[in-house]
Chains A and B, each alone.
Chain A
Amino acid sequence: MTPSGSAPGETRRKSEMLDSLLAFGGLMLLRDSVEWEGRSLLKALIKKSALCGEQVHILGCEVSEEEFREGFTSDINNCLVYHDLFRDPLNWSKTGEALPGGPLGALTAMCRRTDPGPVTIALDSLSWLLLHLPCTTLCQNLHALSHQNSSLGDSSVQQVRVLGLLHEELHGPGPLGALSSLAQTEVILGGTVGQASAYILCRRPQQRPTHQTNWFSILPDFSLDVQEGPPVESQPHPDPHTSLVDPMTHLTFNLRLSKKEREAKDSLTLPFQFSSEKQQALLRPGQGQATSHVFYEPDAYDDLDQEDPDDDLDI
């Protein structure tokens, strides 16, 4: 990291993004596009891993080795192990310099690596590999690559980290989705005018995925400078919640009770509730009922039995 005379807090923030990205192993997918290129971020990650003392293997397919090594200091360049697929991918020159087996052979050779210790493998780029290999083969090899050395005992410690650069505009949603589902970390590069951003999605096993957005810029020596985002006014921020709260205001029934209404509701006597007042009112033939009389005129079919069968009942 280039301190450039900044306070300790700032250097901590600068290295935080790279540290959080490199904290976990597995497959990390860097999705870039024509406007926001990802190779410089890839190189920044490679530089950070090399500085941490890990072995770094690079499978270069899209750019030449000289162009890739440009910008790295010599001590970092000595740490990098470069496998060149750019110069002669189909082994036409037959000089023996090309990797045997083509891209698939190179990948499987990396899977069978037996050196202990943490290692970072950078694939530049996955798009090139997707165009030359079937998607299923690539996915299976990537899975085998990123799950090396993980036995039952230390399945939490991932020794291998695979960084893959993917140009998302070259592929349809199928391969993109397939590779995303394999990746433990996904970094989608984007940004607004003049400011690059990285949307980082982390998928840990057994845990819910977390996501965050970091604004950064990459310095010429491939160190990272995390910045504040652009001013808020320039970001259009749609607020869907205001429109969704509306359903509550147009109801034809009342969901909430005011204090008075609640008191009135509590003090209401329900018709079938048998309270003591009602009992008294029923038992006592009150004065208020003097005005109501029942007029009964028996007609021919009525049977006025003088022997009332209820007489012996004790009410």
Chain B
Amino acid sequence: MAAEATCGAGAGSTGSLAAAVGMSNVTSFQRRGPRVGGADSGGPRLMSIAGTRPSVRNGQLLVSTGLPALDQLLGGGLAVGTVLLIEEDKYNTYSPLLFKYFLAEGIINGHTVLVASAKEDPAVILQELPAPLLDDSRKQELDEDIYNHKTPESNSKMKIAWRYQLLPKMEAGPVSSSRFGHYYDASKRIPQELIEASKWHGFFLPEKISSTLKEEPGSLTPGYIKLLQFIQNIIYEEGFDGSNPQKKQKNILRIGIQSLGSPLWGDDIFCTENCDNSHSLTKFLYILRGLLRTSLSVCIITMPTHLTQNKAVIARVTNLSDTVVGLESFIGSERETNPLYKDYHGLIHIRQIPRLNNLICDESDVKDLAFKLKRKLFTIEVRDFYVSYIKG
């Protein structure tokens, strides 16, 4: 391969080198070790962390979001050290699902999980995580779902493209043997043993803030300050930023923050027009991103951006996050009864994908995505307007 590549150069010295390379299979150029992206390069030894894999494009360390379909749309997974922002749908029906899939993926892979919420007790949130689908039942689920969606034409033997009859059906997700992404059964709860065996930290705002602290203008709201201190403590004490060099096994910290920016956090950015402390949320995101970039952690944040019409706020928040996914559900809107949309429960918008150590980002070509929550699975697919209409 290298010989052919250097053929075009035509220089004498490279020609001899190319010949030497071509003759023996072992090249004299040795890689020191696979380049692990993110904040921590583990030296010459490859230390693989459970539940992560390097990106095929630039070697960036990726973790799964818990939904293999979403992983594929985001370019393989979520990069370690970044923030995934989910813009909640209007009645907050489907964004908690994505939040829970993320946390469940962390529990299954053995990552440390940090859950922060102002609304629900983190222990209650962890109890409600979906159960993972085992391998054989997963294939059964997928096969039965794919079968239900077969169009009448494809049921018969293919007449023109008969060579493709023998190919196996493609699954919507990575099928690597190291189980990067898992499928979950939304109708079942995660087994209690898995939660007890995992390491998790909870931050429930009403417990942490007992008295009304005096808020200085221009600074963060007390709830945000407490949360940032909590996250910083966990990162430092458990060595996610490399501060404890004797740690035996590196692990990922998965942080989940629910409904950030809602009035329950003490932040009035979404509920008042001219609020005094309009920069509290943006400062929080900035500091959080700094914490994440210097540690082996990944964060998911759900935010009720539908509460505000202020596009400036939404634009600032989007710029300060890395990956932004918006959910738009059809509940209560006129699209619910529209025959064109009846197969789906909502639309999913990939608003931003980060460019990490890169000039371009891994945007998928498909822009028209819809999701539906089937009995057990949450699927994301391209919105197929004509097919759904033909099927009736």
Residues of A that sit less than 8 Å from B by CB = 134-137, 139-140, 143-144, 152, 155, 172-175, 177-178, 181-182, 201, 203, 206, 208-209, 211, 240-241, 244-245, 248, 255-256, 270, 273
Contacts and interface: CB of A to CB of B under 8 A. Distances in A.
A186 to B, nearest CB: 10
Interface in B272-311: 272-273, 304, 306-309
A182 B120 CA distance: 12
Given A139-B264, A143-B119, A255-B386, A203 B91 contact: yes
B308 to A, nearest CB: 7
B271 A211 contact: no
B160 A270 contact: yes
B123 A270 contact: no
Nearest to A178: B271
A173 B309 CA distance: 9
Interface string B315-354: 0000000000000000110100111100000000000000
Contacts of B160: 270
B121 A178 contact: no
Contacts of B159: 270, 273
A273 B265 CA distance: 68
Contact of B266 (A140, A155, A177): A140
Given A240-B334, A241-B337, A244-B340, 5 more contacts: A136-B271, A172-B272, A174-B271, A177-B308, A255-B386
B92 A135 contact: no
Contacts of A208: 93, 331
A249 to B, nearest CB: 12
Given A174-B270, A177-B271, A152 B121 contact: yes
A112 to B, nearest CB: 12
B276 to A, nearest CB: 9
A87 B301 CA distance: 45
B307 A135 contact: no
A20 to B, nearest CB: 18
20 contacts: A135-B263, A136-B264, A137-B212, A139-B262, A140-B266, A172-B273, A174-B273, A174-B308, A175-B271, A177-B306, A178-B262, A178-B307, A181-B262, A181-B307, A201-B332, A209-B331, A209-B332, A240-B338, A255-B390, A270-B160
Contacts of B238: none
B206 interface: yes
A272 to B, nearest CB: 8
B170 interface: no
Interface string B82-115: 0000000001110000000000000000000000
Contacts of A241: 337-339
A302 B356 CA distance: 64
Query: In the complex, which range does the number of interface residues on chain B fall in?
Result: 35 or more
Interface of B: 91-93, 118-119, 121, 123-124, 127-128, 159-160, 206, 212, 262-268, 270-273, 304, 306-309, 331-332, 334, 337-340, 386, 389-390
A48 B339 CA distance: 41
Nearest to B91: A209
A135 B339 contact: no
Nearest to B389: A248
Nearest to B127: A152
Q: Is the interface of A mostly helix, strand, loop or mixed?
A: helix
A214 to B, nearest CB: 17
Contacts of B309: 173
B389 A211 contact: no
Contacts of A178: 262-263, 270-271, 307
Contacts of B272: 135, 172, 174-175
A148 to B, nearest CB: 11
A255 B263 CA distance: 51
Contact of B264 (A140, A203, A240, A273): A140
A173 B386 CA distance: 37
Contacts of B339: 241, 244-245
Nearest to B338: A244
Q: Which 7 A-B pairs have the closest CB atoms?
A: A139-B263, A178-B271, A177-B307, A136-B263, A174-B271, A135-B271, A209-B91
B124 A135 contact: no
Contacts of A175: 271-272
Contacts of B262: 139, 178, 181
A213 to B, nearest CB: 13
Contact of A134 (B264, B268, B338): B268
A206 B128 contact: yes
Nearest to A138: B263
A279 B307 CA distance: 70
A188 to B, nearest CB: 12
A211 B332 CA distance: 8
B92 A181 contact: yes
Nearest to A144: B206
A110 B224 CA distance: 27
A159 to B, nearest CB: 16
Contacts of B338: 240-241, 244
